[in-house]
Amino acid sequence: MGLSLATAERWVERWERQQQRYAVDREERFTVIADVVEQALTGRSDRPLVVDLGCGPGSLAARLARRLPYADIVGVDMDPLLLELARTHHADAARYVDAVIGEEGWTHALCLDRPIDAAVSTTALHYLSQDALHRTYRQLAALLRPGGVLVNGDHFPHDDTALAGLAGCVGRRHAERGHALAHEDWDAWWASVAADPELADLLAERRRRCRRQPAAGTDSAAHLSVAAHERLLRQAGFGHTGVVWQYGDSHVIVAIR
């Protein structure tokens, strides 16, 4: 299943472009996440440990590695194709782990040798069910050192439907101004992947795994507002939680252990 570097580079670059359609001000959101993590690591004398939840092809891990070369980064994801892109194109950024976040035993698969200083995620945890998300928050609270942070960048719906419509409009206008909608979309990216023979085995494995995963239902975490996330985080054992950045319905939520 090994990929050539040229193939991985080509598909990661296309991934970066298509993701701009969805994550409002995506690069700034990455920068804010790195800002928070860097601040949380200030004064640490040992080598900090950061876990990237739902790392995909390594987009956030690579940016954190450039910003924080003194940190150890572990990326975890369940998608074999995206993980292989990360391992090939961003090999030096992180140690990558194949595991399903929220499932029994996933934290053991990380093979951590010390408490983590920061857990980060971007546009990934909404795939979990609400029960799995709450369980994951509790597990992360147990893994983090006191004072450690969980930083989650994603789109969170407003409880108020009128505000939800306005936030969506703000995001669309921003994407239009940046010409992000000119890039291929999610479906087009995966359709093109399916036409690349070098990715055929990885895509077949991905499809096999997806058939084993339950479809997202009404209990999906994608339906949870910022307030709901903050409530779950406090219940999980985090002492402080709140939004540190927002553009439209795109937010960065921080929780401090």
22-48 tens-digit pLDDT: 888 899 999 999 999 999 999 887 899
In angstroms, the CA 122 to CA 155 distance is 9
In angstroms, the CA 149 to CA 257 distance is 6
pLDDT at 4: 94
Tokens of 114: 């010390």
pLDDT tens for 184-219 read 999 999 999 999 999 999 999 999 998 877 665 667
Average pLDDT score over the chain: 93
Query: 126 CB contacts (<8 Å, ≥6 apart)?
Result: 154, 155, 220, 221, 222, 224
% of the chain at pLDDT higher than 90:
78
Packing angle between helix 200-212 and helix 80-89, nearest 10 degrees?
140
Range 45-58 average pLDDT: 94
**Which domains are assigned to the chain?**
5-256 (3.40.50.150)
Task: Record the pTM.
Answer: 0.93
Give the residue, 161 or 231, on which the prediction is more confident: 231
